[in-house]
Structure 1
């Protein structure tokens, strides 16, 4: 007999207090009012950036130095602070849905599958070819080279921007940046002075956040913040619960200060998560998945950064971070991971050459991790305790070939414990026809290094293991070719189009030998080709339309000697095309309304039907610093986004209200 763990229902836990607060707080505002600085708060910034201002947004992820988005020779999409505020998103994955070059699929109440350009083939819901950074700290786990999205929490109101690059980023960011890079940057403490309170209640849970910032007598700007979230069980299409409720809490602080040419930042976070985990395929009652066990996800991290400005536009940067995570997935395994990372970067002043200037950036990175796994009778990682090291050196030079022509050459050499030293080269050519138009082309080689999941996984079976790791697994290699255009042909319109082709080799397979033993190997190859396009049109002074479309074709094949008949179907589990349309309309200076329509093609193995989702938000700035918004998600009806029909969570309609108060 299987019993289900139940959690307190949110109305008694959070929803009732939040509802009362949402009703009473506006009435109490006059009594709580305090003197405000002349500088407007975040919620007072009423309008989106203009089309021209969007093109001039500085991005860092393409060349590791500030450059105009319009000039970046890569498929990069930027999610701004205002985009996040208007979306009504409560979590990072929800905010990432705005990037048209990402595929974001919700697996259950807390788990997401997020990928770019396909090959989400890690064997579970975690893409292993997408590198994610939060304030310069890589959040991938060497356990499987992917990201536990349920452990990634930030105060969204403090996010400055999210840069999403689809395509390789190995030269600047290293191994595992094969199909994309997500670079999340939070705002300086200097930009978050004063206090913030956010209360958010929805039909399936609630969120409460706070932040308070100030400046010390010696000029150190700081902020402290916290966030707690509760979500109740999601449901199957039959209405049965999936047993995936969760609670998550985040607290942290940040300090920034400037001393002449030197800038310093110190960022610390601690989080705790408790999740129910459904057991796929195990049925406690007709149509109801059993609860496999609780998931415990705790962590603490600290990042220190120093930046020094040199003469002539040169600069130096040094960063160090420590990250400790604890994850227990009952009854399968538990893991403690300690990561220490050191980075250095030097950007040289422009050097005059025969045709034009050279802009050179180089740097080095060293990372060490200590991993301790508590094995079980169900699954084992052997050795249970291991220490891994990564070391890399990179350099990139942007050469001005002539008027409006720029060639960027870069290379990184990176060492890892499993495959030794990998070479990651890249060449990018940009033709800036005018300040409003740019053509670019790129060729790159990038690698996804093996993880502990690929090499060290063992499953009990005959004498004594059925699955015996993957000693023959190689790094997954991608040769990538891209051609792109980004332009602002007329004042109200801008768009970006990218054609891409990826040639893959040594993709992971699961092989069975004649004796019946299973091992991992690298006996699959193939290619993926497609197009990514997005743009914005200022249809009227207060009305903006944004759209995005992707289409992709993958063709994978097994190499001689492979017996993994399902490998090609498992790897090609991505939608062939996606489409989104977003409309933002400012009714007046205090009210705005937003609609987002998403259309995602169906997937196979497991079969997931195509779906259409409509989200809406109405925002009302009742007074300076006080904003009330009402959101509706999936208004077109429930749908599944990932997994087999037996245990696929149904993404239902979701209604919510949010109150944000800055003072």
Structure 2
């Protein structure tokens, strides 16, 4: 423990040393070698494309918030074969594998299967379940090869995306049909199973393109370790999916996109101790969606977008089977700048209806359920000092049936000077409890005893007051530094109140507390063939009424924790790459939350311009403990063939 605490201090001293000593040298080099945006010609400007939390194409320094962008190259270098695996390298994001086909993903201190504190989007379509307020990843098995970029925005952005983005937003952007022309085959064979994806793309006309894909796979599954004892986990996961995308563009002003997919899976589910909502039986799930998007550019910084989608999925929790249907639509408008003001407006609505087949162990109050949500937002980015000082004010109003109108407000200040960027943000956010909280009837284990959930309703909205600050500097193409600090005050969070006499657990809005911390990351091309990316996240969590062994509703860890990560990207030789990633998470008190050192590696060989082979190893040194799930060392071969 003492060693790792010293490592934290050493990391920060190293950061200060780089910032104060070495980095000015690179800063001078940047002034000579890196042209500013104003110096770029038209062709150069077209190459500058960073998608910000406002969904506009703008340069990096226009964002007053904490974020990480994983490019297609970053995702490939991580060796990830799924979206959750790719998120492991992002500072401030906790990724836990709960079972062979279950993942828990959290931002800034919260994690768990029913973690409802962040929003996940694929091409701007929410995949967070409206009823359960969590992502059923088995029904969203998007091939990682179709992903162009993943944007992780940490902190509350409820003024843009509403109450579901309480702690952040994960945006998954797929490639356009034009970017996926030709045929591609991706084969993954490893110790855990096999996966095969085939993709075909081409032209429909001079202005239109299409893409179709199919994917199938088998995962043998793995085991659990609970209190030192090994238990068999879910086995024999068989999954398949197919999808399409078609884009049509007219004179660079209008773009129409139609896309969709279907996915299904079967698994022999096991229910070891401590595994929530699993049963000893075969389980089948499916999901699918169709989406239409219209984008129109009305100026350099202005435009409008209309998007609508229909999503249907079937999910099973223990012996409760449910079918969910969701129809949503939204319209966004970005106006041309008028004086100091740059305005963005949006309205949206969502209607979902669910039906359930009750189980013996897990039930819901109503067999049929439906709800209508609506929202509207406005945001004004004001230029206080030209090219230097910007103030962004945003407000979103969320309306849900049978609840009060929820205002979500934020103020963000950005100051830029030469290559420096400083930003401050203050946000006020609320979140209405999910229907699962009010409807679900099931048992939980607490202190070795079983308690039956007794939902009485009348829960308050969860509240968050957040203060954030950050500093960024792009010293050169070879060196970037980013640090952010945050202070979050939570009130009326959901938790469980236990009655030992009746053995019932009642949901209450009684949990309150603080989470404050920092995230720091460096992206340094130390040598022509070596890039290193160290990062550290530290958070202190102090909640009253929270217990570490209470299942709750994805409660905070309630402990000071730190998370150290290091990624090294090495060009061994022409056509050869070696990528390494290691991480360590633990507490700074007497509580042992250690996951162990996770070491992943990827060795890639570009054998031909159209053929690449990759050896991918996970948890190579020791098994990694992720809650009840233990990730054993594994290896796989990925073959990507374009023809």
TM-score when normalising by structure 2: 0.86
Alpha-carbon distance between aligned partners in 2 of 1:610 and 1:158, rounded to the nearest angstrom:
31
Structure 1 residues 221, 293: CA separation in 2 closer, same or farther (over 3 Å shift)? Answer: same
Task: Give the equivalent residue in structure 2 for 1:45.
Answer: none
2:324 to 333, 337, 344: 337
Task: Give the equivalent residue in structure 1 for 2:543.
Answer: 556
How far did residue 69 of structure 1 move? 2.5
Q: Tell me, yes or no, if the aligned pair for 2:344 and 2:380 is still in contact at 8 Å.
A: yes
Task: Give the equivalent residue in structure 2 for 1:453.
Answer: 436
- Please give the per-residue CA displacement for 1:1-22, whole angstroms capped at 9, x wherever unaligned: xxxxxxxxxxxxxxxxxxxxxx
Alpha-carbon distance between aligned partners in 2 of 1:110 and 1:567, rounded to the nearest angstrom:
22
- For the residue of structure 2 that corresponds to 1:190, the secondary structure is helix
- Please give the per-residue CA displacement for 1:176-225, whole angstroms capped at 9, x wherever unaligned: 10111100000110111001001111111111111000001353100001
How far did residue 315 of structure 1 move? 0.6
Task: Give the equivalent residue in structure 2 for 1:427.
Answer: 411
- For the residue of structure 2 that corresponds to 1:420, the secondary structure is coil
- For the residue of structure 1 that corresponds to 2:84, the secondary structure is helix
Q: Tell me, yes or no, if the aligned pair for 1:575 and 1:600 is still in contact at 8 Å.
A: no
Which residues in structure 2 correspond to 1:218-229 (within 5 Å)? Answer: 219-229=207-217
- Please give the per-residue CA displacement for 1:290-332, whole angstroms capped at 9, x wherever unaligned: 95223322011001000111145321110000000111345x2
Structure 1 residues 186, 466: CA separation in 2 closer, same or farther (over 3 Å shift)? Answer: closer
- Please give the per-residue CA displacement for 1:443-500, whole angstroms capped at 9, x wherever unaligned: 0112222112211123599xxx953324121111111110001112355210110000
2:401 to 384, 403, 417: 417
Structure 1 residues 606, 236: CA separation in 2 closer, same or farther (over 3 Å shift)? Answer: farther
Task: Give the equivalent residue in structure 2 for 1:92.
Answer: 83
Q: Tell me, yes or no, if the aligned pair for 1:581 and 1:598 is still in contact at 8 Å.
A: yes
1:349 aligns with 2:336: yes
Which residues in structure 2 correspond to 1:607-626 (within 5 Å)? Answer: 608-626=593-611
Which residues in structure 2 correspond to 1:194-213 (within 5 Å)? Answer: 194-213=182-201
Alpha-carbon distance between aligned partners in 2 of 1:662 and 1:478, rounded to the nearest angstrom:
48
Q: Tell me, yes or no, if the aligned pair for 1:570 and 1:605 is still in contact at 8 Å.
A: no
Alpha-carbon distance between aligned partners in 2 of 1:429 and 1:587, rounded to the nearest angstrom:
43
Alpha-carbon distance between aligned partners in 2 of 1:568 and 1:369, rounded to the nearest angstrom:
22
- Please give the per-residue CA displacement for 1:37-56, whole angstroms capped at 9, x wherever unaligned: xxxxxxxxxxxxx9999x99
Task: Give the equivalent residue in structure 2 for 1:370.
Answer: 353
Task: Give the equivalent residue in structure 2 for 1:230.
Answer: 218
Structure 1 residues 310, 290: CA separation in 2 closer, same or farther (over 3 Å shift)? Answer: closer
How far did residue 127 of structure 1 move? 1.6
Structure 1 residues 134, 627: CA separation in 2 closer, same or farther (over 3 Å shift)? Answer: same
Which residues in structure 2 correspond to 1:375-390 (within 5 Å)? Answer: 375-390=358-373
Q: Tell me, yes or no, if the aligned pair for 2:212 and 2:245 is still in contact at 8 Å.
A: yes
1:494 aligns with 2:480: yes
2:107 to 105, 116, 127: 116
Alpha-carbon distance between aligned partners in 2 of 1:574 and 1:157, rounded to the nearest angstrom:
37
Structure 1 residues 441, 460: CA separation in 2 closer, same or farther (over 3 Å shift)? Answer: closer
1:601 aligns with 2:586: yes
Task: Give the equivalent residue in structure 1 for 2:128.
Answer: 140
1:658 to 629, 638, 642: 638
Alpha-carbon distance between aligned partners in 2 of 1:631 and 1:82, rounded to the nearest angstrom:
15
How far did residue 243 of structure 1 move? 3.0
How far did residue 608 of structure 1 move? 4.4
Structure 1 residues 440, 89: CA separation in 2 closer, same or farther (over 3 Å shift)? Answer: same
How far did residue 279 of structure 1 move? 1.4
Task: Give the equivalent residue in structure 2 for 1:543.
Answer: 530
Alpha-carbon distance between aligned partners in 2 of 1:576 and 1:62, rounded to the nearest angstrom:
28
- For the residue of structure 1 that corresponds to 2:99, the secondary structure is coil
1:68 aligns with 2:23: no
Alpha-carbon distance between aligned partners in 2 of 1:221 and 1:275, rounded to the nearest angstrom:
36
Structure 1 residues 275, 447: CA separation in 2 closer, same or farther (over 3 Å shift)? Answer: farther
Structure 2: gaps (5+ residues) = 1-33, 38-44, 445-450
Task: Give the equivalent residue in structure 2 for 1:37.
Answer: none
Which residues in structure 2 correspond to 1:28-427 (within 5 Å)? Answer: 58-120=49-111, 124-217=112-205, 219-237=207-225, 241-260=232-251, 261-281=253-273, 292-311=280-299, 313-330=301-318, 332-352=319-339, 357-403=340-386, 404-427=388-411
Structure 1 residues 490, 621: CA separation in 2 closer, same or farther (over 3 Å shift)? Answer: closer
Q: Tell me, yes or no, if the aligned pair for 2:99 and 2:234 is still in contact at 8 Å.
A: no
Alpha-carbon distance between aligned partners in 2 of 1:335 and 1:291, rounded to the nearest angstrom:
15
In terms of mean alpha carbon deviation, does 140-149 or 478-487 score higher?
140-149
TM-score when normalising by structure 1: 0.84
Alpha-carbon distance between aligned partners in 1 of 2:235 and 2:590, rounded to the nearest angstrom:
23
Alpha-carbon distance between aligned partners in 1 of 2:559 and 2:550, rounded to the nearest angstrom:
18
- For the residue of structure 2 that corresponds to 1:571, the secondary structure is coil
Q: Tell me, yes or no, if the aligned pair for 2:118 and 2:170 is still in contact at 8 Å.
A: yes
Structure 1 residues 112, 67: CA separation in 2 closer, same or farther (over 3 Å shift)? Answer: same
Structure 1 residues 282, 214: CA separation in 2 closer, same or farther (over 3 Å shift)? Answer: closer
Alpha-carbon distance between aligned partners in 2 of 1:542 and 1:639, rounded to the nearest angstrom:
30
Alpha-carbon distance between aligned partners in 1 of 2:500 and 2:101, rounded to the nearest angstrom:
40
Alpha-carbon distance between aligned partners in 2 of 1:126 and 1:605, rounded to the nearest angstrom:
27
Alpha-carbon distance between aligned partners in 2 of 1:103 and 1:51, rounded to the nearest angstrom:
37
Alpha-carbon distance between aligned partners in 2 of 1:164 and 1:418, rounded to the nearest angstrom:
32
Q: Tell me, yes or no, if the aligned pair for 1:298 and 1:327 is still in contact at 8 Å.
A: yes
In terms of mean alpha carbon deviation, does 144-153 or 547-556 score higher?
144-153
Alpha-carbon distance between aligned partners in 2 of 1:575 and 1:196, rounded to the nearest angstrom:
46
What is the CA RMSD across the aligned residues, in angstroms? 2.9
- Please give the per-residue CA displacement for 1:607-639, whole angstroms capped at 9, x wherever unaligned: 643311111111110111110111111111112
Structure 1 residues 518, 651: CA separation in 2 closer, same or farther (over 3 Å shift)? Answer: closer
- For the residue of structure 2 that corresponds to 1:587, the secondary structure is strand
1:526 aligns with 2:513: yes
1:634 to 612, 616, 619: 619
